[in-house]
Structure formats: structure tokens, C-alpha cells
Structure 1
Amino acid sequence: MNESSLGLDEPPQPNKAESYRVLARKYRPQTFSELIGQDAMVTTLANAIRRDRLAHAFLLTGVRGVGKTSTARLIAKALNCIGPDGNGGPTISPCGVCEPCRAIAEGRHIDVIEMDAASHTGVDDVREIIEASRYAAVSARYKIYIIDEVHMLSKNAFNALLKTLEEPPAHVKFLFATTEVHKVPVTVLSRCQRFDLRRISAEKLATHFAWVAEQEGAQAEPEALALIARAAEGSARDGLSILDQAIAHADMEGGGVRADAVRQMLGLSDRGAMRDLFGLLLGGDAAGVITAIRRQYDLGVDPQSVMQALLETVHGITLVKVGTPDDPAQSAEARDMLGEWAGSLSNPLLHRLWQMLLKGHEEVARAAMPIEACEMALLRIVHAASLPDPGDLARRLARGDSPPVQPVGGAQPDGPPAAPAPAPDGPPVQQLPTSLDDLAALLERHNKHAMESHVRNLISPITFDPPKMEVSAARPLPSEFLRDLAADLREITGVVWKITASDAPGEPTLRERRRADQEADRASVLAEPMVAAAMDAFPGAELASWTRKQNG
């Protein structure tokens, strides 16, 4: 016997490669406990199963990737599970080991029929379902039809399904899934138990992605996972696809999943660069804005994503201004910057910026030259930043002041360039008040009597360092009070005031100080010998008022 007869001269055969499963399929939920962010639906289903009040048709709706098809398969498992011992009934916690559970999970159960309505839209496809539904299930408790993207069925197909959907055989359940529920006829909606699957929050997605990365043995920065979760827009499937790509990119680079790499992979703008760009917009620096936007464009950032990042910045400032909790995905630097802008920018200005950026975003999306459209939109905002606020302009006209006149297009008269004129945002800067009492007196001199009364009665200062001031919010303050106070002081002094509130205790208000001084003065008067003797001589007498004689 030679070596050739034994096959020893044949080259070794390579092992058969296992096909890679993408993360979105590998980590598809197999139990209701693994379903993210749909607690209300799971509770309703659990109660229905326990009380034996199962609907004959379910409609699952929601944005892409929130788990509609996965939920339909879980419901099929829950209704057909027989338990490890083969004697179980419908349960919200299917065992996953019995034959029905395993067959449904693997997509091979003969009594669980999945159909994509996008490719089976006609009435003939529905007639096949109607005919087959008459026959009992082969091996399962229920024959279940899962129809994905059901809104794509034709009108005739829907009409053909109505009678069977309203009075189906006892052994049949229908599970419909759609992303566009408004396209489903109301006659179908009224025959189904509807579940609206919620968009998954970025925080829950980031936590889930961190767990998936750990299972895959990949290192990932929390900021990178937060970026992926934000880009997923509430879709677990989209987020897992991005995470899959990010892990592959990290392996190519020889490191973990980093935030800068994810940002580059997604074509997102750098948050710090966007904050710098927003500051240039507010400062009216046209040349700086063009330089900054071109730098982002050269790095591969989409102009439309720049406009979106600026919109998110304005939205974030507005949320801080109304007092919403901080976004945990934001850095401390970002929160500080948003807080500073929230204290210095008025609500009307933020709304103007939002509208102008929103219009610019629409223009960039439609433009044949996106980067040029982006530059023109931002320059329009720069020009608007140099114009007076409509409220300030109305107050000036009411006082009889002349509005500033600027050359059209910024043209200058002949001769040397003129020095830049001060921004028309108020009167010339004057000396700032040195105490809260001076501030109240300043408001009184400028006929701001209502605001002066509020300052004396309500403000409990923590720090007073004009034009910055921090006051205590331990006692409730009127809505928009601090904003209106900052606007009045800007109008009077010509500088922007930053007035913030915190829950820390502050000093007494001016009214409380005056009362304390009066009580101390009254006590000192009552302690004088002549007054004390008079009070003893006339029991029940009260000190109604007093006047101290001035020396000299």
C-alpha cells in the first residue's frame, strides 16, 4: 500500500468557513425581556395572555428598526410555546427550547407563515392566505400569518382580506407590521389590536451598544457609542449596522472604536468646531465663518450636516434656557458653553436663528451646489447679526431715537476705510452699578418701576459682579423675569448682562434688608432710657413711629 492509495499525497483541505452574521441579526431579541424600550406593549401582551384575552389580529407600527418583525416572531413563539416538558400553554416568556420555539426562531415552522407585502401586493396573494387559513394548524397551537409592510397591499387585496380578518377561524392569528400606518385602511385598523412601538431613546441604545461591543470583545469609547446611538435615530437595527461598521473600521486601524473615527466615518461635523462656528456667527465674523465652513468641507463634512449641527446647537441652547435636564451625552465643555449662551441670548433671537438656519437647511438640501448654498445661508445670518433686535428697534423709535443707517451691501464712501461702527445694540456703555441697591436705583431713574420693585422684593443675590449676576431660585421667580431684567439692563447700560439662577441660598433681598434695619433701629429706640421709662409708665403703649434727631 503506497502513500497515494492512502491519499497522503493530497493537499490538506481547508476548513469550511463559517458565514459571518451581522450584528443586527446576531443580536435580534429572542425574548420579550431582550426587547428594548417597549415595556408598555410587553405589559399589555402579558396581561392579555394571562387573562386569555388574545386578539385575533395585531398591528405593529413604528419607525424602521424598532423591532416590529422581531416582536411579531416573539408573539408567535409566545402563543405556540409548549414548554420544555411539552405541556405548557401560551406565555409571555417562551422557553426557547421546545420545538415550536426553535422552529419559529429559525424561520422554518410550517404553521408560521411570513409574507412581505412589498412583493406580494395583489389580491391573488391574499386569496391564497384566505384559502389556507381554513385548514387547521399542522403541529402548532395557532396558525400565524406575519405580513410585513402591510400598507403596501393593494386596495383590492385589503378588501379581500376584510371578511376573514373580522371573523377568522379560531386557530388563526394575523400579525401585521408597517412603518406607514396612515396608509392602512381604517376598515383594517378597526379590526386589529394596535401597538405603536416607540422610538428607542439614545441613552438606551448607547447602553445596548456598549453591551454588544463587550460581547464582541471590542473596546469602544462612550462618546463613540453616543454618536452611533444619536445617528441611529431610534432604530436598533440601524445603530447595530453602524456599530458593525465601526468595529470593522477599528480593527483596520488597530484600535478600539473611537469617537473621532466614528465622526469621520459618519461624515459628522466636530462638535467643538460647530460651537466655534456658532460663536463666529453670533460675532458677525463673515471671513471667519467662510474659513471655518471650508475647513469642515475639506475634511469631508457634508454641508447639510453642518446646518443640522447648528440647528441642534440652537435647540440645545433653548432647552437649557427653559431649564430641561442636561444631556448626559454632552461633554462638560459643551454644557458650559450652552449655559453661557442661554444666559446671554434672548428667546426672540434664538427663534430668529432657528428659522434662518431651518430655511438654510432646506436650501442646502435642494441646492445643486450645496457648499455654496451653505455659505450664502450662513452669510445671511452674519448680516442679520449686525442688525438691531426688533424689540430694541421698537424701543428706540418709541424714544424718538434715529435708527442707524448702513450702506447697502456694506459699501464705504471714497477715501480710507472707515473704522467699524459699534453694533447698534443699545446706548453707549455707562458705568455699571456697584451694588444691588445701585441697580434698583438705576432702574428707577429710567422709569422701570415695575422691574425695580421686583428687584427689591425678589432678588436674593448669590454673586454680584456686573455684568454678571447669580441669584437664588430657592423661592420661585416669575416666568421670564431674569430674561426681562437682562434685557432692561442691556438697554440701559449698553452691555450684555448674564443673569443666572441656582438653587443655592442667597443673601437677603433689599426688602428683607430694609425690614431688618428698621427692626434693629426700633429695638435701639426702645432701649433708650427715656423711651423705656415711658413704656413702663404707660403699660400697653406702642411705639408707632420715631424720628432721630440729626446731630449738628
Structure 2
Amino acid sequence: MSNYIVSARKYRPMTFSSVVGQEALTTTLKNAVKSGKLAHAYLFCGPRGVGKTTCARIFAKAINCENPAEDGEACNQCESCKAFNEGRSMNIFELDAASNNSVDSIKTLMEQTLIPPQNGKYKVFIIDEVHMLSQAAFNAFLKTLEEPPAHVVFILATTEKHKILPTILSRCQIYDFERMTVPRIVNHLKMVAEKEGITYEEQALGVIAEKADGGMRDALSIFDQVASFCQGNITYKGVIEDLNILDSDYYFRMVDLSLENKVSDIMVLLNQIISKGFDGSGVVQGLANHIRNVMMAKDAQTLPLLETSDEQRKRFQEQAAKCPTPFLYRALRILNECDINYRQSSNKRLLVELTLIRVAQITQPDDDSDGAGRSPKMLKNLFKHITKSPANTVPQVTGSVKTNRKPTAHVGAASDAPTTTKQSAAADATIATANAGQPIAASTQQPTMVKGPHLKLSSIGMTFQSMLHPEKKKEEASPLDTPEKTNEEETAKRFTDEELALQWVQMCNRMPQKFVGLASRLKNITPHITDYPNIEAVIDNEIFLSQLNEIKRKICRTMQVTLHNDNIQLTLRLADTATAKKVFTKREVFDNLRKENPAFEKLRVSLGLELS
């Protein structure tokens, strides 16, 4: 047990030929060794775990080898190679810039460059994670990097080339390492598994390669973890269970159900996924990546862009043959919108559910006349209603209102309901129209334009219910849809000043956003009953009075609806100069308080407070 070495170290390449996936770079380095044309500084950059530091060590050993092979490889037989392999070489120095990033560390390194090698040709300095050096350390390094001694070679390695100063980059030969492809990682894992005597399923190795995200070191670390979990027999089920990865079968089933418009089955499937501990964001991102792969598999030209195993590639091709291209495009757009809005959503599961419903209804026809027995197209029709312009929708009055007036058409009413010209004009009115005479409370229930999967459920509840139960549409119509006989008592209920003040404040809270300033000032006014049921509001400003006169009829109608009394008449009056209240500043308010109660002044003095 004490001699165990992880695969990432045990199978670390020792020669250029054993480096996986970097053939172009290794060929260039071998040619440089053969020709003896060496630069004084090299920069190896690329993602993590692709072989930057490994290639730097192999290159350092090769340029100091006493008997290099014809292809530029180190012989591994000379004293220099043996010393390097055993970790006792005095010509190769490694510096971790992440923990030695100060000016003093670089100055110590510069002093080492002045001493020539005792054996071998070059002193090689490998600086890993060079982007972690401080600005001052970079500046101290510049001069030596530009004109180092003839026996010095610098090899810099970094994962973030953009953080390195341009003056450093211009002094180095830059080698960009590539990410490992899934097939190359799978082939390398097969070799390791065979040497370790581990059995495997190729699909399981493909999952490990995808999880590694282009890094061979990560792939070997995951391989060791999974091999320990599976006790030497790596299976697909064991991999997804150990790594907590959602089985790709869920995504294939989800796409198939979407093509068949089976919303209920998708909701059940989503619940199964969430019950396994996966969050909605991972489901949306995974499904988006799956649909992207299906789209890539649809065309032979884009098929090489699929980074997956051969078995999975065949499954993607089979599903791509069933998926229309417009479906894939629209599904990707819908899922991308959900991914963008997921973090801001207060009800994340609902957002994911609505997104999957929209995806499932992409291929659903608008006409359902021949769909007897099929589930109603809830959300498709729903989105059609709520994305209409607010100017063409009818404001809904909160609460159940019964009136002797002729009712106006409701949004959810049938299209063939009889309406008069006067009713149509009222249906098109908005809060900005002063002569419409509709209550202000209704304006807050207008549907608004919806982008993506966001829905305001409070404004579409009745429409949603009517779509869920189309057979009850006529029975559950709004009171405003059909005339009803009402008695005089129900439209002339008595109210008090307290009820009037309460409904007045609630009206102000329901006013549209464009009247927010008007509503704020209106809250400071308290209406009173003058000659019952008439009410009066005293305004202390002529400009404010003129603004309120423009929507006076709306305010009056709102009071009639909310207080259930159609006989209410509203009077707006300008306050007399003698009765007008003076508006005090905060300083004046405090001065009045401390005059009336000297304790305020004592408190201010004791706390050492100053008036601003």
C-alpha cells in the first residue's frame, strides 16, 4: 500500500514519443535538439493537464543528453539522463512561481544563472505557473530573460497566457498546447487499464474522458477514483453513480418525448431527475449540450465536432434523423434563455418546468381541431395571449364586481361573444386615456410582453384555468362576460370614512408604473365624505389638481367599484390659503420637537450629535 503511485505520476511520459496529443509540438522540440538550434527562452501555454511541465522536463533532459538519439530523444543511459531520472541533476532547476513570486525569489534565480554547469551543456530553469509572478518580479526578470548567459535556457509554463506582460512574450518562443480529444483520452485510458489489469466498458471510459474536459491528468485521476469504486471492473453504471453524472438516457428520452408533445411524461421525468439530487440548472445545461450534439450529428460535416465515444455518436445520429432542424434551433434558444435567467428566478423549478413545456410544444400544431382526446395545448395558447400588445387587451378589475352597466368583453371570453361598439372602445382603452372611465385598479392586471420563460402567473391564472378545462369555459366565465341581473342594494352599499381611506390607498398602490409619482403624492391626501355618498379631496397645489382632473373619472369609477356604490361622485377642490399646510424641512421639524420637549435637545447634546 505504501508503494502505491497514482496513475497520473506512474504513467507520466518520459520521452517525446510517449506524449499524447501534442505531436506537432514534440516534433518541433525534437528537431531543435537534433539541429542544436535552441532558443534562450520558451513559453509553454495551454489548459491544465495537457503536458506542459512534462514536455518541459523531457526537453530539459534532451538538450543536456550526452548521446541524443537521431530523432532527438534522450538516450536515458548517460550520466546526465540518469541524474535527471533519479532527481539529482544539478543542471535543471524548477521554480513554482505560485509560491515564489516575489522580487527576492527572482533575484536568487538570477544569481544561479551566473554559475556555469558543472557537467552537461546547459543550465535549464523551468518556471511553472509563471503568470503568478508579481509586476516587480516580472520587471526584475526582463533583462536577464532578454540577454541570458549562453549556457542558460528558460522554459516558462502557464495556463493563463493573457496575464503575462507583452515584453515577456516577445522574448520567448511560444508553444500553445492543445486540449486532449475524447478519443485520444479513451485510447490512453485503455492502455493504462490493460497494464493495470482492469476490465472496462468503452462507454464508461468515454464518460471519464468527457468529464476530464480535455485534461489527461484529470482523466487519469478520475480513472483511479472510478477503478477503486468499481473494484477493478469499470462499468458505465458504476461511473455515473460514482461521479454523480446524470445518465444520458434521460436526455435522449426527454428529446423523444418533446417530439411527441408529451408534456406530462416530461414533468414526471424531471421529477425523477430532481429526486436523485440534480438541480434544475444542471438539467437545463445538460439538455442544451445534448441537443447541440444532436444538431452536430445531423450533418456529416459537423459530425467530427462530437467529442464522445463511438457508441454515443451512433445514438446521436439515430436521434438526429428524427429531429427537425427548426426544432433543434428553437429548443437551443429556449434553453439558453432559461440558463441566462435561472440565477435571477425566485422559483427556479417552475422556470425549468415552463422551459421544458415550451420545448415540448415546439412541434405541436396550432390547430387542434382533429385532436379529440389529446391534452389541451395549455402553454402554447397561453403564450399567444400574454404576448399581445397591452393596447389590445382589456383591463381586469380585481375582485368580483356586479353592476347594472353593460359589461365589457373579457380577455378569456369566446371570440364570438356579442359586443357593441361602445364595449369595443372600452376594451381598447388604457389608463393613459382620461375619458375611458375605467377603474384604475384594472390597469395593474394587464398582461405584459413576456420574453423567454418568465410568466406573471397572477395575470394569467383565469386564462390558464380555462385552457386546462375548456369544457367549463362557458360555465366559469368572468362576471364581466355576460350580463347579470343585480339589485339596487348590491350597487349602493354604505361605506365609512375608514373604508374610503383604505380603498383610496389601495388604489394608489395599484396605479401603473408611469403614474408612480402621481400615486405617491395621492397617498398623502385623505378624502372625506361630504354629502353621502359623495366624496371630496382637497388638493394643495394647482398643478397637481390639473393632473388629477385628467384622470378624475377613472378615480371616481375606481371608488365606485371598490366601495360597491355606483352613486359616488368625486369632487377635487383646491385648498384655501388659510388652511393650506406648510411643508417643513427636517431641520424645522426637529426645532419644533425640541421646543415642545427639551429632552430631545438634552439627548442630542449628550450624544454629541450635530445637525446637518
Instruction: Bin the TM-score by the shorter chain.
Output: 0.5 to 0.7
CA 368–189 in structure 1, closer or farther in 2 if over 3 Å, else same = farther
Q: Are 2:348 and 1:378 equivalent residues in the alignment?
A: no
Contact 1:81/1:91 (CA < 8 Å) preserved in 2?
no
Instruction: Establish whether residue 189 from structure 1 lines up as the match of residue 189 from structure 2.
Output: no
Displacement of 1:190 in angstroms is 0.7
Q: Is structure 2 residue 292 aligned with structure 1 residue 315?
A: yes
Any idea what SS the aligned residue of 2:234 has? coil
Whether the 8 Å contact between 1:224 and 1:258 is mirrored in structure 2 is yes
1:345 matched to which residue of 2? 324
1:168 paired residue number: 148
What is the CA deviation profile of residues 66-87 of structure 1, one whole-angstrom value per residue up to 9, with x for unaligned ones? 011101101111111123xxxx
Unmatched runs of 5 consecutive residues or more in structure 2: 368-382, 387-411, 413-459, 474-612
User: In 2, distance between residues paired with 1:140 and 1:29?
Assistant: 22
State whether residues 199 and 233 of structure 2, in contact with CA within 8 Å, keep that contact through their aligned partners in structure 1. yes
Letter of the 1:179 counterpart: T
Q: Residues 331 and 195 of structure 1: is their aligned pair in 2 closer, same or farther, counting only changes over 3 Å?
A: closer
TM alignment of 1:270-289, pairs within 5 A: 270-289=247-266
Greater C-alpha radius of gyration: 2
- Spell out, residue by residue over 1:166-203, the C-alpha distance to the aligned partner (whole angstroms, 9 max, x if none): 11001100000000001111111111011111111100
Q: CA deviation at 1:138?
A: 2.6
Corresponding residue number in structure 1 for 2:29: 45
SS in 1 for 2:298: helix
Q: Out of 15, 33, 38, which is 2:17 matched to?
A: 33
Indicate the residue corresponding to 2:333 in structure 1.
355
**CA deviation digits over 1:133-161, x for unaligned, max 9?**
11111333211111111011111111111
Q: How many residues align?
A: 383
Q: What letter matches 1:51 in structure 2? A: S
For 2:45, which of 52, 55, 61 is the aligned residue?
Answer: 61
Q: Is the contact between residue 56 and residue 173 of structure 1 (CA under 8 Å) also seen in structure 2?
A: yes
Aligned equivalents of 2:344 and 2:193: distance in 1? 38
* Aligned residue in 2 for 1:102: 82
| Post-superposition offset of 1:419 | 11
Q: Equivalents in 2 of 1:43, 1:293: separation in Å?
A: 50
> How far, CA to CA, are the matches of 1:415 and 1:59 in structure 2?
64
Counterpart CA distance in 2 for 1:384 and 1:143 is: 65
Quote how far apart the aligned CAs of 1:102 are: 3.0
User: What per-residue deviation string (whole Å, max 9, x for no partner) do you get for residues 486-526 of structure 1?
Assistant: xxxxxxxxxxxxxxxxxxxxxxxxxxxxxxxxxxxxxxxxx
Q: Distance in 1 between matches of 2:466 and 2:278?
A: 39
Counterpart of 1:335? 314
User: Could you tell me how far 1:256 is from its partner in structure 2?
Assistant: 0.6
List per-residue Cα deviations over 1:405-452 (Å, max 9, x = no partner).
6965652449964499xxxxxxxxxxxxxxxxxxxxxxxxxxxxxxxx
Displacement of 1:368? 8.3
Are the equivalent residues in 1 in contact too, given 2:208–2:239 (CA < 8 A)?
yes
1:20 aligns with 2:13: no
Q: Which runs of structure 2 are paired with 1:117-516 in the superposition (5 Å)? A: 117-251=97-231, 256-323=233-300, 324-325=302-303, 329-330=308-309, 335=314, 338-342=317-321, 344-347=323-326, 349-364=327-342, 374-382=352-360, 408=460, 411-413=464-466, 417-418=470-471
Please list the CA deviations of residues 454-506 of structure 1 after superposition, one character each: whole Å capped at 9, or x if unmatched: xxxxxxxxxxxxxxxxxxxxxxxxxxxxxxxxxxxxxxxxxxxxxxxxxxxxx
Q: Give 1:367 shift.
A: 7.0
% identical equivalent positions: 36
- After TM superposition, the structure 1 stretch with the greater mean CA deviation from structure 2, 330-339 or 302-311, is 330-339
Shift of residue 384 of structure 1? 5.7
Paired amino acid for 2:49: G
Q: Report how far residue 380 of structure 1 moved.
A: 4.7
Residues 1:199 and 1:415: Cα distance change in structure 2 (over 3 Å)? closer
Is the 2:182–2:309 contact (alpha carbons within 8 Å) kept by the matching residues of 1? Answer: no
Whole-angstrom CA distance in 2 between matches of 1:369 and 1:21: 47
SS at match of 1:158: helix
Cα distance in structure 1, aligned partners of 2:341 and 2:77 = 55
Aligned-partner residue type, residue 173 of structure 2: Q
- Contact kept? 2:330, 2:362, Cα under 8 Å: no
How far is 1:353 from its partner? Answer: 1.6
SS at match of 1:115: strand
Computed over aligned residues only, the root mean square deviation of the Cα atoms, in angstroms, reads 3.1
